[in-house]
Structure 1
Amino acid sequence: MRSKRCRAYLSFALFVIALSVAVAQKPSVSPQRSTTAISPMVLRNLGSGAIPLDGIWQFHTGDDPAWADPSFDDSQWEQLTSGKPWGEQGHASYAGFAWYRRHISSDLTRSPGNLAILIPHIDDTYELYWNGRLIGSNGKLPPHPAWYSDSQPSQTFGWPVHDSGVLAIRVWKAPLTTEDNGLRGGFEAPPLVGSSQAITAAKSELDYQWLRSRQFVYAEDLLYFIVALLGFLAWLRDRHQWTLLWIAGFAFASITRVALYGMGFPIPRSLADTVASLSSSIRDISLWFLLLTLLDLRNSPGIVRLTRAFAVASLLSTTLDGVVVMFLWPSSTSHHEVLLIDASLTAIYIVTAALPLFLVLYAFQRNLGKGLASRILAITAFACGMLQVVQNIAPQGSRYTHWTLSDRMSAPLFVLNGNAVSFTTLAGLLLLAALVFAVYRHALDDRRRQIALQQEFRSAQEVQQALIPEAEERVPGFILTSSYIPAAEVGGDFFQLIPAEGDYEGSTLVLMGDVSGKGLKAALVVALIVGAVRALAETTASPAEILAGINRRVCGRLQGGFVTCLVMRLDSDGNCVIANAGHPPPFLNHKEMETPGALPLGLINGVLYHELRFEIQAEDRLSLYTDGLLEARSESGEIYGFERVHALFARKPSAAEAAQAALDFGQEDDITILTLTRLEEPITQTSQVSYAI
């Protein structure tokens, strides 16, 4: 039922837009106006004061430079007042050029010195003439028009009034959009004339009242700016916290409209509309992705894809709409096509703007976003989303439907210290408060999860440290040094020293390996391997059989990963048996040993491993290491490499000294180094054995 209603509302909105396009720019028929001659307005005894140029002005649509001439006969022109736009005086929906003329007689018995004139906002741009001479302007007229927003402050100009003459104002009204009600154009308030001091004082008073009336708006925008700045800076510290970036984007885009329209800056209206349209799209998109996170919708792939598609559609439609407004609208000679494009793009934007309604309804239906903050945000976003949709639909074609819903929604609910507070303003403020509250609660939850995760990592570190042999452990017949430096909280390197049992009692099994990858997953694999090795060591002291047993246990469990591993059995008399599964060979003194190679563990079951028997002489040093030493990388990107490793082990460093050399060069991966120095005279014998699984 709800979806049918939504489709009905949307269809009705599109019908209104189409209707406005169909009849757009239809010439209006102006009623006959009185052309009775009026007496000139007499300026006398101004002193230091000012008077309004109110009352009746001669008015004519169209454009002719001769109408600035004071001798031109305008007695047959229409007569309009300067207190309200021409759209409310019989020229509804008129756009283009029009002229105002006022005959003025000067009878200044006491000269006030320099005179000035204050021109309130005129819709949209104008030129001011006194007796045929241009004395001021605002904006640019066609063929290259540029006009400003409604907040453009009143303009003042010097006025050389010392005799009678004609004040003429050439006005140009920009083409109407689909949401214009057609009741504007030209004067909105009468000009004011007087001494320079009086005009300066009048303008200062107008500017003060204007600023005073916007205190609430500026305070709200200051809050948005603070939220945007803090959110962005927090996101820079932690790039994984996308909610912080989305709330910064939402808050920043929300203040651009006031910067464009509400600060009185002379920004061309076409540029302001283009930027405002794009910022509205960014604001919407930021809100959508915030809702995905705060309503627990990120785990719904279909909803995420839909949101991304709507984001692309919104950006494309608003960008194209900006191109139309910037380049086609002011210069187009046929506005029907432009109106059709504008209406089509507006329809797309209205459809995308309704996405929060769907997201909230979907979350409620699936009972997602159960927290208090999420519920408050959902209700507020729902209300603001509906308000935004209605506000976009209501003005469409209003100059034909004469609907006033949009005006009533923007009308002030109350006035606080000269500040008009509307329902729209309150809704935006409530949504900002709900977003900040929801993001705050979400950040607290994330912090709790991070603390729990950090505790898990600390637990993993403790487990891993328990798996690393203690420094005081001894290998009979050898001096042992070791160094283990993980690149992350937990690493994938490991080594073990296990006393052999049975026939090889008195010997030591030395195991070193490297699990592909880092972090908790690699640490768990290390725990699995160490457990398997200790179990295998109870039944065999053969390095090849131990590798084969580990391979059987990890095949199919590493999800595409692998393990390089080297196993040795050291006898106290110097005899050594070694088997290798893809691990860097050890160094005997300064020379790298040639061990039998084989595939790393975990790739293929049934791999054949080989054993190499050799003897370690007195004072010989055997150095084992993982590829974290070999692949250490400097800031310039240079790797440590084989040559440096050869030179390093030729100096017979301790494990700590070798690890420090890699750290000083630049650590990239886990670094594990083990050195074993022979103490006694060896027994000479070398052979090689193979084991198949």
Structure 2
Amino acid sequence: MQGNPPVRSAVLLWLLLAVALVPRAFAAQPGSTEIFIAINAMQVSIPAATHGTIHLEGPWSFHEGDDARWSDPSFDDTSWDKVMLGTPFNEQGIDTYTGYAWYRIRIQLQPNSKAAETQLALLVTPYSVGQLEVFVNGVETGQTRGMASHMEYLTGPFINTLPKPQPDGTILIAIRSWVSGSVVHGLVNQVTIGGPDHIQESYLLAKARHWDQNIAAKIIAGFLFFCVALVAATLYIAQRHHSEYLWLCILCLSITVRGSLEAAFALAWVPLRVYDLLQPWTVWFFFASTLEFVLRFTGNATRRFVRIIQIGALLLPLASDFQLYRVSGYLGYLIEIVFCALVVLMLFRAWRKGRSETGVMLVPFILAAVVDSIDTLLGVAASWKWIPESYATPNFHLGPIQYSVSTVTDLVFLGSLISVIFYRFIRVSQDEQRSSAEIEAARSVQALLIPTQLPSNRNFLLESAYLPVSGVGGDFFQVLPLKDDSMLIVVGDVSGKGLQAAMSASTLVGALRNELSNDPATILAHLNQVMLGNVLEPSGKSGTNAVAGFATCLCARIYPDGRMVIANAGHLSPYRDGRELELSPCLPLGVIPNVEYEQATLQLKHGDRLIFLSDGVVEATDPKGELFGFERTQQVSHESPRYIAQTAQRFGQNDDITVVGLYFVPA
């Protein structure tokens, strides 16, 4: 009997609609042979499982709790909730849960299909931290390694070999899950069925995707920070007085440790409880070390408030250890805000004071702080259900590698650190070049201030010792033989230290060598005018080039018969055979103009020893703060100049030491 054409057309149309409306969960990869699987009482033509894979997205039957009977194929789960894998539970009307939960799905192979005769495999991909155990037709086929011990790891995909289906071709897949924390998305993310070869390929792709999404970015960022830490350590070894390099190394190592911990957790090398214990310490130690680096880098003086924030950051993980999670969260937000504001303030103040390298770090840090703050606000908004959870943790991709906002902020911060290192390296190199030029100039000046050879004379034996506290100082002395076989000795000390003091001293030495008079009082009066800049120039006009600061000076002229004429301008009196000579005090050079310096006349005896010295001997200070003092100076004043200088130096030198000795032995 020939059928009615409109009826045949309607039947054909409904069959096409049935195929088109099958859930996308059962879309399969291309294959060469077709088999038939019935899911939810609906027959679907799909590629052979031996040549393709099928994603079983659902609907799955879901129920919280734990019961061994739920793995039995005969158990009735029609009253359970229905869920789709890969979709957050809160979007499917299911609240968060903790502990055990079961997933069940039933598929049926056509008895005459090749799938009923072929070995099948199952690939299960978890969503986050937890444990899974898979049952097929009531038989356990696989579980994650921490299921028995309830040790949580970030579990990756794993393969289950399926037993032969029941005689009617039915396969009941039951998945038992356990998690200690609240689950929002559902622990099972994807289930794929297919032939062993194709499942193995899918497994390798899933492992590679897991590596790209959870591990690669962390390892790359950690390696970059480790390289910067090595550079900083090298700079600190070369320049020990720059402690900011040490703290730069420490903060980079803290980020490296944090990234290594996250990568180890993603690789399931570290359980969740260990990760939760260590991760907060790495984060807050990074905050504390960054504050210390910025504090030393900017030279900021507000150390007390910084120390309070550092102590608070380092103690904050203890709140989580005592399960004070809400308190820990609020305090964490507060410390993070104060941390960002404090770092920006210290960098900005240093930049305003002329430290241009802090400006190089200021803008990148502000950018990183803003991005990190936005990420934190999104997390808070998602926890309060103001926005969907998917918006709270936005991820980005660079090729196959997935990275998060925290990775972006870390790399921006790393860029600022690299910029600072190179900027500081260039500036230090320029400073070293200038220092080298200054050292060469100082050596030239030093040759003028300190005679390397003392003049010989048949009536006097002379020796000296000079120990500068740095490369060059403000002490000077001159021993000038005169035509009548007398000896002119000048010892002085210019205020200040370093090259500036040495340049001032060289000006006085130059004026001394051009002085026509050999009278001590007249010489001091002339040097006083030089210090004040009131010396007449060749044109007859008064000069205006005053020498910075002031200077003490002692001038003595000793004749062959032992007569000594001496004048003092605020300098230490010399010692004669262990006793200090009493001289009239007078103002140092460069204080007021037109000073008349008094001079005294003394008579030396055969064998007398005179010791002229600078205040670096008397003012030597030991670690306890005790001065070498006049009493100790007098006790050693009968010794040689070298012995006196070395004794004061060992006691605790903090200024230039100059000692000149004269031994009177007339022919």
TM-score under structure 2 length normalisation? 0.63
Asked whether 1:572 is paired with 2:572, we answer: no
**Cα pair distance change 1:538/1:595, threshold 3 Å:** same
Deviation at 1:531, TM superposition (A): 7.5
Q: Could you report, residue by residue, the CA deviation over 1:228-269 in whole angstroms, capped at 9, with x for unpaired residues?
A: 210232023214446645654564444444223234341534
Deviation at 1:276, TM superposition (A): 4.5
Kept in 2: contact 1:394–1:406 (CA 8 A): no
Deviation at 1:433, TM superposition (A): 3.7
Please list every run of 5 or more consecutive structure 1 residues that lacks an aligned counterpart in the other structure.
1-36, 40-45, 176-181, 330-337, 682-693
**Cα pair distance change 1:255/1:88, threshold 3 Å:** farther
Whole-Å separation in 2 of the counterparts to 1:66 and 1:156: 22
Match of 1:596 among 582, 585, 603: 582
Match of 1:471 among 440, 448, 453: 453
Deviation at 1:367, TM superposition (A): 12
Partner of 2:261: 260
Asked whether 1:678 is paired with 2:660, we answer: no
SS in structure 1 of the partner of residue 179 of structure 2: strand
Whole-Å separation in 2 of the counterparts to 1:374 and 1:597: 55
Whole-Å separation in 2 of the counterparts to 1:514 and 1:352: 49
**Cα pair distance change 1:200/1:622, threshold 3 Å:** farther
SS in structure 2 of the partner of residue 262 of structure 1: helix
Partner of 2:276: 270
Deviation at 1:270, TM superposition (A): 1.9
Whole-Å separation in 2 of the counterparts to 1:110 and 1:598: 122
SS in structure 2 of the partner of residue 473 of structure 1: coil
Whole-Å separation in 1 of the counterparts to 2:627 and 2:600: 31
Kept in 2: contact 1:353–1:389 (CA 8 A): no
Amino acid at match of 1:353: C
**Cα pair distance change 1:67/1:536, threshold 3 Å:** farther
Whole-Å separation in 1 of the counterparts to 2:634 and 2:147: 74
Partner of 2:428: 446
Whole-Å separation in 2 of the counterparts to 1:424 and 1:82: 28
Deviation at 1:611, TM superposition (A): 5.8
Partner of 1:386: 370
Kept in 2: contact 1:84–1:187 (CA 8 A): no
- Decide which moves more: 447-456 or 131-140: 131-140
**Cα pair distance change 1:672/1:474, threshold 3 Å:** same
- Decide which moves more: 402-411 or 275-284: 402-411
Amino acid at match of 1:672: T
- Decide which moves more: 483-492 or 349-358: 349-358
Whole-Å separation in 2 of the counterparts to 1:55 and 1:185: 13
Kept in 2: contact 1:96–1:173 (CA 8 A): yes
Whole-Å separation in 2 of the counterparts to 1:511 and 1:208: 84
SS in structure 2 of the partner of residue 674 of structure 1: strand
Asked whether 1:349 is paired with 2:333, we answer: no
Please list every run of 5 or more consecutive structure 2 residues that lacks an aligned counterpart in the other structure.
1-38, 42-48, 110-114, 533-545
Kept in 2: contact 1:584–1:626 (CA 8 A): no
Kept in 1: contact 2:448–2:506 (CA 8 A): no
SS in structure 2 of the partner of residue 395 of structure 1: helix
Whole-Å separation in 1 of the counterparts to 2:349 and 2:414: 22
**Cα pair distance change 1:358/1:520, threshold 3 Å:** closer
Deviation at 1:346, TM superposition (A): 1.4
Partner of 2:45: none
Kept in 1: contact 2:574–2:610 (CA 8 A): no
Partner of 2:234: 233
- Decide which moves more: 160-169 or 52-61: 160-169
Amino acid at match of 1:234: L
Deviation at 1:274, TM superposition (A): 0.6
Q: Could you report, residue by residue, the CA deviation over 1:303-333 in whole angstroms, capped at 9, with x for unpaired residues?
A: x75xx6885576456445433333315xxxx
**Larger Rg, first or second structure (1 or 2):** 2
Amino acid at match of 1:262: A
Q: Could you report, residue by residue, the CA deviation over 1:150-186 in whole angstroms, capped at 9, with x for unpaired residues?
A: 5x545789999999999663523425xxxxxx73342
Task: Calculate percent identity across the aligned residue pairs.
Answer: 22
**Cα pair distance change 1:137/1:565, threshold 3 Å:** farther
SS in structure 1 of the partner of residue 426 of structure 2: helix
Asked whether 1:507 is paired with 2:486, we answer: yes
Asked whether 1:221 is paired with 2:207, we answer: no
Asked whether 1:100 is paired with 2:86, we answer: no
Pairing 1:543-582 to 2, within 5 Å after superposition: 567-576=555-564
Higher RCO (CA < 8 A, seq sep 6+)? 1
Q: Could you report, residue by residue, the CA deviation over 1:585-606 in whole angstroms, capped at 9, with x for unpaired residues?
A: 5464xxx234338999769999
Match of 2:478 among 473, 482, 496: 496
Whole-Å separation in 2 of the counterparts to 1:406 and 1:83: 12
Whole-Å separation in 1 of the counterparts to 2:576 and 2:314: 64
Partner of 1:61: 64
Deviation at 1:55, TM superposition (A): 5.1
Kept in 1: contact 2:487–2:559 (CA 8 A): yes
Deviation at 1:640, TM superposition (A): 11
Q: Could you report, residue by residue, the CA deviation over 1:456-510 in whole angstroms, capped at 9, with x for unpaired residues?
A: 3443443343133462535572133334342311124332235689xxx753332
**Cα pair distance change 1:314/1:661, threshold 3 Å:** closer
Whole-Å separation in 2 of the counterparts to 1:644 and 1:199: 92
Partner of 1:334: none
RMSD (CA atoms)? 6.4
Asked whether 1:324 is paired with 2:319, we answer: yes
Deviation at 1:392, TM superposition (A): 1.7
Partner of 1:615: 604
SS in structure 1 of the partner of residue 322 of structure 2: helix
Kept in 1: contact 2:478–2:491 (CA 8 A): yes
**Cα pair distance change 1:191/1:562, threshold 3 Å:** farther
Partner of 2:81: 78
Amino acid at match of 1:484: Y
Whole-Å separation in 2 of the counterparts to 1:324 and 1:439: 36
